[in-house]
Amino acid sequence: MIYELEEKDFELVEPLLKGNARVPEANSIIKLNNPSRIFVDNVRVPQTALIWNKGLEGFLIAGDVNNSEFVPYLNQFIDEEIIPSARKAGINFFEISGLHYEWNPVLEETFKHRKLDKCTQLVYTWPASVKDIPGDYTNEGKVIKVTHDFLMNTKINNIEFLVSEVELYWGSIKTFLEKGGLCYCIIHEEEIASICYSAFVHRETQVIGVVTEEKHRGMGYAFQGAHALINECLQINNVPYWDCTEENTASKRLAEKLGFEKVSKYFCHYFFF
């Protein structure tokens, strides 16, 4: 059977994450940084966990791939619990990725009766030998670090663009700032053109998110904001981390232009309902 874990017990899932490098998002979640839910086979000693995050709008699954108390119940749980909740939130798809490669064939077998598809995600990390990146942009954007004082005193026209994006992953700006999140925005003519922020934070790892208003794309603002955030990460001995779909050409190019190195890839499986 599948049960929901209370937030106070999220750290019980931590042993399931060991031995896998691709877990800063999951570790950030179990530290209660990000609005999330966790479902397990056993609320006292979990052997398998299904981790949902509001920002990702998807699930991570970790632990025992052969768990007879969990895997056979997944479809029923999705149909009876996940899909109704998702529809109420305006979501019409289910997306899941295994934190271990052994999950891929299990997920494909479990959901073979559905119209299951998959995409490839690319993982980039920062080369340890690189301690600074030079500026390489020519545009009219002004770089601003987002702080409590900035948010309280700004007269920017579209500040809600920044707030809503950060709160999607963190729940509140207050939590974001208190938990060590970093954010830079690019201002063009008194409005935010682009933001670069920590989507997840685990210890010294900062998982980077970048969003640019559609009318400002192609101007180099994403590079400008990411450049500022990465340099601060390096100054405080944090490690920038980048994750994007293989199909997201713009994100791949930006990561590589900034200096990230591709280290691995994994699959996200999904279906619509």
Could you state, in order of their start, the residue ranges of all structural domains in the chain?
Answer: 3-114, 142-265
Secondary structure letter of residue 119 according to DSSP: E
User: What pLDDT is stored for residue 21 in this prediction?
Assistant: 60
Q: For the chain, which residues score pLDDT lower than 50?
A: none
User: What pLDDT is stored for residue 133 in this prediction?
Assistant: 80
Q: Name the helix (H) or strand (E) containing 233.
A: helix 221-235
Within this chain, domains 3-114 and 142-265 share the same CATH topology: yes
User: What pLDDT is stored for residue 137 in this prediction?
Assistant: 63
Assigned token pair, 163: 């707030």
**Hey, CA dihedral for 105, 110, 115, 117, is it positive or negative?**
negative
User: What pLDDT is stored for residue 36 in this prediction?
Assistant: 96
Q: Walk across the sheet containing 183-188 and list its strands.
A: 3-5, 36-40, 48-53, 58-63, 93-98, 261-272, 117-125, 239-245, 205-212, 191-202, 183-188, 142-145
User: What pLDDT is stored for residue 23 in this prediction?
Assistant: 86
- pTM value is 0.93
User: What pLDDT is stored for residue 144 in this prediction?
Assistant: 96
Reduced to 3 states (helix: H, G, I; strand: E, B; else coil), residue 10 is: helix
Superfamily covering domain 142-265: Gcn5-related N-acetyltransferase (GNAT) (3.40.630.30)
User: What pLDDT is stored for residue 43 in this prediction?
Assistant: 98
Is residue 254 classed exposed, middle or buried when 0-12, 13-18 and 19+ CB atoms within 10 A define those classes? buried
Looking at 81-192, list the stretches that DSSP marks H as alpha helix, in order from N- to C-terminal side: 83-88, 103-110, 148-153, 159-170, 173-178
CATH architecture of 3-114: 3-Layer(aba) Sandwich (3.40)
